[in-house]
Amino acid sequence: MTKNTDTIIIKAATLVFMTHGYKRSNMSLISKQAGYSRVTIHKYLLNKDDAFRKSINQVLTESKAACEPIMHSAKSDLPCWQAIEELINQWIIPTFDGAGDHLILQELRYYAQEIAQDLFMDAHISLENMITQVLTQAVKDKHISLERLAVNESKLANLIVSSVSGIRSRVDLAEIKQANHDMVNVFKVATLD
């Protein structure tokens, strides 16, 4: 199967989940949306859970790829807290932001935690590692100080990602970026000399 076919099938699966929710989605709907036979769909997707995991993984992979230029800029000229805020903004894009119905969104979030919790844990670790790198460089360059907080770069990155996770799960989509901006400012002020 070609890479293009894979992409078409995953995008079709994602659209089906966004439109119908997890419970009402099935391989026939994915097949119809993708424009491929069920036989072809089953060559790439084992079942509905596999389709759901691959849809989530695609969004997370795109978020990680979008962070690469930010990390490159952070090494050269992007200020520490601006880099961290931009990294967070890439990761806070809701995995299911295409779901138009609130009940479908809630259902997708529930099943994501049931079926793909490991993918989200890997994404959290990846974001923590990127933030740790940015903080380590900023401490090394003496742009920030962690003395008043009495934590190292890794622990602070963990606190930031935990805060982001809390914001993402409890704040309305329209207010997420502002809430993250406010949270980053709190950490920024706490690290100033």
Q: DSSP string of 85-118?
A: HHHHHHH-S-TTTT--SHHHHHHHHHHHHHH-HH
Tokens for 34, please give them: 């993708």
Domain 3-190: homologous superfamily in CATH: Tetracycline Repressor, domain 2 (1.10.357.10)
Q: What is the pLDDT of residue 130?
A: 97
**Per-residue burial over 159-188, b = 16 or more CB atoms within 10 Å of its CB, e = otherwise:** bbbebbeebbeeeeeeebbebbeebbeebb
Q: What is the pLDDT of residue 94?
A: 66
Q: What is the pLDDT of residue 137?
A: 94
pLDDT by 10s per residue, the chain, length 193: 466 899 999 999 999 999 999 999 999 999 999 999 999 999 999 999 999 999 999 989 988 999 999 999 998 889 999 999 999 988 877 677 778 788 898 899 889 989 999 998 999 999 999 999 999 999 999 999 999 999 999 999 999 999 988 887 777 777 888 999 999 999 999 998 6
Cβ(135)–Cβ(156) below 8 Å: yes
Q: What is the pLDDT of residue 3?
A: 65
d(CA 150, CA 191): 10
